[in-house]
Amino acid sequence: MAHCVVPAAESILDQAFPVLDKGFVRLVDYLGGDSRIVQAARVSYGEGTKSFREDAGLIDYLLRHEHTSPFEQVILTFHIKLPIFVARQWIRHRTARVNEISGRYSIMKDDFYVPAPEDLALQSEDNKQGRKDEALDEDAAKSTIDRLVEGQEEAYADYIGLVESGLAREIARINLPLSLYTEWYWQIDLHNLFRFLALRLDSHAQKEIRAYAQVLLDIAKKVAPAATTSFEDNLFSGLRFSGAEVAELRRRLAVESGSAASQAQAAPLQGKALERFEEKLRTGKQL
């Protein structure tokens, strides 16, 4: 199988794309692109035997029908700088290979995430894991940022003091806050990157990790544009319906499914199930 060179991906190699206040994402290396997916699917064909349109059609077919193994042939390696609290959400995706900077061997940098004023909000009353849409007023935001920065500066000063006193680095680091930036190399295949993006681009994900996911999506478009377009259309913007929801759609659209008798007996959705279904149709988002 010939080496796959993607000019658009080559043009951004090692370029740091800023995220948040001090973070970044860099594409360090990649293996394959759209043509590698096609080659893997058409193992008996050589490169160039099909047009771009036909290749894009095949890629779309593979993705829609969940033939995932050809997408696993494309591998991307990223160098990422991110706050520890984002990294701990990120690492729950256990389908990548990770090498992270170690505070046992290195002195951690004085780099902490400080939210922008517009990103500060009170706890949501109806979402236990999120914030309200309305930002804090100017005075409250300034006061909050001052408190965050003061705590970060104090924690880092204590850390450096303990290191300089001769305390082992692996102990000195333990009081550093979650806002501290860490760095890692993160390598993942395209299939599992799409699974990551489907979750972390969703509006229910924390805003900070969504910012990283958007940059990863933009980079994926450079490496495999046809595959990424298909992901956006079929997986990210598409919807999945339960059996009961499909029955409700058929009932509403008066599309027969099975015998007329069974169709007539299909009960409409009710209660919370109906609310979720209506919200899914209204927002176009997977709930």
Determine the Cα angle at 45 with ends 40 and 46, to 5°: 95
Strands 75-83 and 23-31: antiparallel
Predicted confidence (pLDDT) per residue in 76-88, tens digit: 999 999 999 999 9
Mean pLDDT calculated for residue range 46-71? 83
Mean pLDDT calculated for residue range 210-234? 96
Predicted confidence (pLDDT) per residue in 192-203, tens digit: 999 999 999 998
Predicted confidence (pLDDT) per residue in 11-57, tens digit: 999 999 999 999 999 999 999 999 999 999 887 455 555 677 888 99
Q: Is the pLDDT of residue 103 over 90?
A: yes
- Radius of gyration (Cα) for the chain, nearest Å? 24
Q: Is the pLDDT of residue 204 over 50?
A: yes
Per-residue burial over 218-244, b = 16 or more CB atoms within 10 Å of its CB, e = otherwise: ebbbbbbbbbbbbbbeebbeeeeeeee
Q: Is the pLDDT of residue 71 over 70?
A: yes
Assess contact for 60 and 71: CB atoms under 8 A.
Answer: no
Predicted confidence (pLDDT) per residue in 131-173, tens digit: 988 999 999 999 999 999 999 999 999 999 999 999 999 999 9
Closest CA to 241 of 250, 232, 229: 250
Helix, strand, or coil (residue 144): helix
Which pair of structure tokens corresponds to residue 252?
Answer: 């509403």
pTM of the model as a whole: 0.86
The yes-or-no answer on residue 104 being catalytic is no
Cα 175 from Cα 265, distance rounded (Å): 62
Cα 25 from Cα 14, distance rounded (Å): 9
Amino acid at 59: I
- What's the DSSP call for residue 180? B
pLDDT at 261: 47
Amino acid at 51: S
Q: Is the pLDDT of residue 266 over 90?
A: no
pLDDT at 47: 55
Assess contact for 114 and 148: CB atoms under 8 A.
Answer: yes
Exactly one of 94, 104, 200, 251 is catalytic; which is it? 200
Cα 20 from Cα 115, distance rounded (Å): 8
Neighbours of 280 (CB within 10 A): 17
Cα 167 from Cα 159, distance rounded (Å): 10
Assess contact for 103 and 212: CB atoms under 8 A.
Answer: no
φ, ψ (nearest 5 deg) of residue 135 = -75, 160
Cα 173 from Cα 104, distance rounded (Å): 8
